[in-house]
Chain A
């Protein structure tokens, strides 16, 4: 035990004395998830906020029944009859839109064949011009004579989407991936350097001729990486708490999604146990690799285990298939953490599935540690 602590202490000292590694461990996960979420929320806000630019648009010769609807769209009556000038202004982007009704415009009646034409001049290079054009054409469509109306009542809400559920589905498709990605990157670098790096630079042999048992050496190195995984997970967790709020404010148009203490606790445990399993896998890769380059080339393959649940959950067919697997989803290490993460974000998780996830991941980590200890006794593995 003492030797395990000695090795773990030495490894952690190496990690914490390197400012770059320290930054990656403590700040990078937080920065990745919070930064990405801020970007997403910024983009969302830009798309939902009303156009701030002052629109300039005119109409000419509009009949009385059209004037108010057009004024509501901020399209004003042209100051004079200089058609050519206003068309030129639209071309030069000095005017967003110009609507010309023919003189003596008559609204169409059902069955009428000779129809009056309304000219709408716009400039598709200007987003404000395109928006106005869309608004005006939609307006004219609704103003056409109809036999029946659809969704005409202004007091009713016809789109019954649960906006909160839509928000939860959206964030569950990318937040788990971002969270585990950050932890994966820091663990991959450190695990690769811890074993494959020591093998490559000859320090591992120096350790192997000391009296420490090989199993204790393996466990000591593993413990240090697991501690790093916890720190990176905590940083990620803080990033997630702040991100969820930011994303909810920017994207969610519902009543607001609220996660309670139990949800956050389960999220944290899913993150930590998932990170542990990832760390164990990366340590095994590092033990089997001959050098750091080999370790860091092979390790990213395991990113797929993180990406697949997130990506597949956006495709209804695959999501149904995954759901049909039921409890089996929560037995597969790492996969189970991502799935549980998604479930919590969707507010659709069960404590039994959470328990299965934690136990499965802990068992995976213990088996991983045993395997690493066994590999350290193999001459070919440790001597390269």
Chain B
């Protein structure tokens, strides 16, 4: 049983003089993620729901070991992600619209390159390539330069590259951002298939309907803090997720005023 454990994660970013002036603050740093903790298990989709600037992407990037937290711990199974980032990366996939394949390459070449980087045995890599390219219908444009592909096609290529090594953990930041209806549906189906295959999937989003459709549990993040963390049913309590979120948001605003 795979599990991701996040304990008291904190991330602060220094503010330049220009930024302090713009934000009308004398603080020299901004706390983007403020002491968050949660657990995600295999065979489930855990959602991190929040507005823009809430700290979702920062959290996801820390989970993906792209950036280091100022304090706190992240464990993928028993592996400490902060102390052994390379070991962790071989077990996880990170997807976001910011991460792109090499535009000057082809899907086939990209796959081969990452198969080598992940040290996947050649024969297995070839078999898996056939399987994944067929599943994601990439074969027709496998040798076309990625720069010439549509957004949806590039997203598929990114998806395939991310799961080359059959990761145990899939971290997906804003999975349907910028995608058309069909591509968004394909991504949702991909996430559900990952869950059914026993992967531990963590997504971050600001879209309520996405969380409602595919998440088993969710945490609501506001101003870098987790204000609720539960199953969807418990979070919603008979209302829509949007209404539940908005109620919590208003409570937070009142608390701040006090």
Q: Which A residues lie at the B interface, using CB under 8 A?
A: 2-3, 6-7, 10, 13-14, 17-18, 198, 201-203, 205-213, 379, 383
- Excluding A211-B119, A383-B67, 16 further A-B contacts by CB distance (< 8 Å) are A10-B102, A14-B104, A17-B104, A18-B104, A205-B98, A205-B99, A206-B99, A206-B101, A206-B161, A207-B117, A208-B66, A209-B92, A211-B87, A212-B86, A212-B117, A213-B86
Contact of B101 among A7, A13, A203 (CB under 8 A): A203
Most buried by A among B89, B109, B113, B117: B117
Contacts of B89 in A (CB 8 A): 209-211
- B67–A379 CB distance below 8 A: yes
Contacts of A212 in B (CB 8 A): 86, 117
Chain A's closest residue to B61 (CB) is A383
Contact of B105 among A3, A14, A383 (CB under 8 A): A14
Chain A's closest residue to B96 (CB) is A205
A-B contact pairs, 8 of them (CB 8 A): A10-B102, A207-B117, A209-B65, A209-B66, A209-B99, A210-B89, A211-B90, A379-B67
Contacts of A3 in B (CB 8 A): 117
Contacts of B68 in A (CB 8 A): 379
> Is B38 close to A, CB under 8 A?
no
> Is B118 close to A, CB under 8 A?
yes
In the assembled complex, the CB of B49 is this many whole angstroms from the nearest CB of chain A, namely 23
Task: Provide the B81-113 mask, 1 if CB < 8 A to any CB of A, else 0.
Answer: 000001101101010001111111100010001
Contacts of B113 in A (CB 8 A): 6, 10
Q: Given contacts A212-B117, A379-B68, is CB(A201)–CB(B100) below 8 Å?
A: yes
> Is B114 close to A, CB under 8 A?
yes
The main secondary structure of chain A at its interface with chain B is helix
Contacts of B119 in A (CB 8 A): 2, 211
Contact of A210 among B87, B100, B118 (CB under 8 A): B118
- A198–B117 CB distance below 8 A: no
Q: Which B residues lie at the A interface, using CB under 8 A?
A: 64-68, 86-87, 89-90, 92, 94, 98-105, 109, 113-114, 116-119, 158, 161
| Assembled-state Cα–Cα distance A6/B94 (Å) | 21
Contacts of B103 in A (CB 8 A): 201, 203
A-B contact count (CB 8 A): 65
Contacts of A203 in B (CB 8 A): 99-103
- A198–B118 CB distance below 8 A: no
Chain A's closest residue to B114 (CB) is A210
Chain A's closest residue to B161 (CB) is A206
Chain A's closest residue to B105 (CB) is A14
Contacts of B90 in A (CB 8 A): 211
- B65–A211 CB distance below 8 A: no
| Assembled-state Cα–Cα distance A2/B115 (Å) | 12
| Assembled-state Cα–Cα distance A6/B112 (Å) | 10
Contacts of A205 in B (CB 8 A): 66, 98-99
Contact of A202 among B67, B86, B100 (CB under 8 A): B100
In the assembled complex, the CB of A267 is this many whole angstroms from the nearest CB of chain B, namely 34
In the assembled complex, the CB of B65 is this many whole angstroms from the nearest CB of chain A, namely 7
| Assembled-state Cα–Cα distance A3/B87 (Å) | 15
Chain A's closest residue to B115 (CB) is A6
| Assembled-state Cα–Cα distance A372/B101 (Å) | 23
| Assembled-state Cα–Cα distance A162/B190 (Å) | 80
Contacts of B117 in A (CB 8 A): 3, 6-7, 207, 210-212
Contacts of B109 in A (CB 8 A): 10, 13
| Assembled-state Cα–Cα distance A13/B102 (Å) | 12
Most buried by A among B68, B92, B99, B101: B99
| Assembled-state Cα–Cα distance A10/B67 (Å) | 25
Contacts of A383 in B (CB 8 A): 66-67
Q: Given contacts A209-B66, A211-B86, A383-B67, is CB(A202)–CB(B99) below 8 Å?
A: yes
| Assembled-state Cα–Cα distance A205/B94 (Å) | 10
In the assembled complex, the CB of A107 is this many whole angstroms from the nearest CB of chain B, namely 83
| Assembled-state Cα–Cα distance A13/B65 (Å) | 28
Contacts of B64 in A (CB 8 A): 209
Contacts of A198 in B (CB 8 A): 102
Contacts of A2 in B (CB 8 A): 116, 119
In the assembled complex, the CB of A67 is this many whole angstroms from the nearest CB of chain B, namely 78
